[in-house]
Amino acid sequence: MKHENRGRLTKDGIRIYDASDFPGMHAAGRLAAQILDDIAQHVFVGQTTEAIDTKITEMVEAAGATSATIGYKGYQHASCISVNHVVCHGIPGAKTLKDGDILNIDVTVIVDGWYGDTSRMYVAGKLPRKAERLIEVTHDSLMKGIEMVKPGNTFGDIGHAIQSYVESHRMSVVRDFCGHGLGRVFHAPPNVLHYGRPGTGAVLEEGMFFTIEPMVNLGRPETKTLADDWTAVTRDKSLSAQFEHSVGVTSDGVDIFTLSPGGMFHPTY
Ligand code: MF3
Ligand code: CO
Ligand code: CO
């Protein structure tokens, strides 16, 4: 069987993987999460995001794995690093981190053909109070979304859990980017929206693999993409945060493939 075509597709075009496919996803997810643990010591005031990305490239190579992002649609780096009002797809570069900058580092690796995709927030120097609140709410909104993952619930249930939590804290959910199916490929159906209404959208089934990766803004939800065709920023220049896990649906709940081996997923505890 061609390995991209294993399992079956639902009527919504979502691939259903087999119980024997979970270990491969765990291995890929674990490596991506380990890299995010190990990169923490390289985030500090005066550091460039390019230097952080170079470390990530070295870590992927040292593990005998492949970066999913190098060469993806012309992208040239092993990570996306999104600082302050950058929402996602920040390109690592020569600018140095300043005290109080917050940043998302997003890494996707391929291990034995399986994709592991995860991102978290970091801070250079001292974490400003309002950034701390944003990071906290964004992290917790991802976890509220993950709590909805079980057979019989819908993707709308996930989106609604995230959106209602974020908006109850008077912050906003970005609509312009979403999570995605993954497995033997980087991006597959469905689009995993981080907003929505309960009971709407495709029904979750055991064996679905996808990411949940809410982006949350302190101000308005609108984004724009810069002239480099990658960097997405908040239109109103407000701070933005994001966390991402890759998960699988089990018979009675969820399996998180990208848990931090060192318990470091959340930056402030
Ligand atoms: N890892 C990102 C995601 O969560 C995708 C990055 S694609 C890149 O889907 F080309 F910008 F790296
Ligand atoms: Co993703
Ligand atoms: Co990602």
pLDDT tens digits, residue range 216-260?
A: 999 999 999 999 999 999 999 999 999 999 999 999 999 999 999
DSSP reduced 3-state for 261: coil
What φ, ψ does residue 212 adopt, rounded to 5°?
Answer: -125, 130
108 alpha carbon to ligand 1 midpoint, in Å? 7
Residue with CA at minimum distance from ligand 1 atom 8: 69
Residue with CA at minimum distance from ligand 1 atom 11: 89
Most ligand 1 atoms within 8 A of CB, residue of 60, 76, 109, 117 to mutate: 117
Q: Which of 239, 188, 40, 25 is nearest to 111 (CA)?
A: 25
From the CB of 53, is ligand 1 less than 6 Å away?
Answer: no
Q: Which stretches in the chain have pLDDT values below 70?
A: 1-4, 268-269
Most ligand 1 atoms within 8 A of CB, residue of 35, 49, 53, 72 to mutate: 72
Q: Which ligand is nearest to the CA of 212?
A: 2
From the CB of 72, is ligand 1 less than 6 Å away?
Answer: yes
Q: How many CB atoms lie within 10 A of CB 232?
A: 21
CB neighbours of 154 closer than 8 A, spacing ≥ 6?
A: 198, 199, 200, 201, 202, 203, 204
Q: d(Cα 268, Cα 78) in Å, to the nearest integer?
A: 25
pLDDT at 105: 98
Give the model confidence (pLDDT) of 27-56 as tens digits. Answer: 999 999 999 999 999 999 999 999 999 999
From the CB of 60, is ligand 1 less than 6 Å away?
Answer: no
156 alpha carbon to ligand 2 midpoint, in Å? 18
pLDDT at 20: 97
Is the previous residue joined to 190 through a cis bond, with omega within 30 degrees of 0? yes
Ligand 1 atom closest to 117 (CA): 1
Q: Which ligand is nearest to the CA of 181?
A: 2
Residue with CA at minimum distance from ligand 1 atom 4: 117
What φ, ψ does residue 229 adopt, rounded to 5°?
Answer: 70, 5
What pTM was computed for the model?
0.98
147 alpha carbon to ligand 2 midpoint, in Å? 18
29 alpha carbon to ligand 3 midpoint, in Å? 11
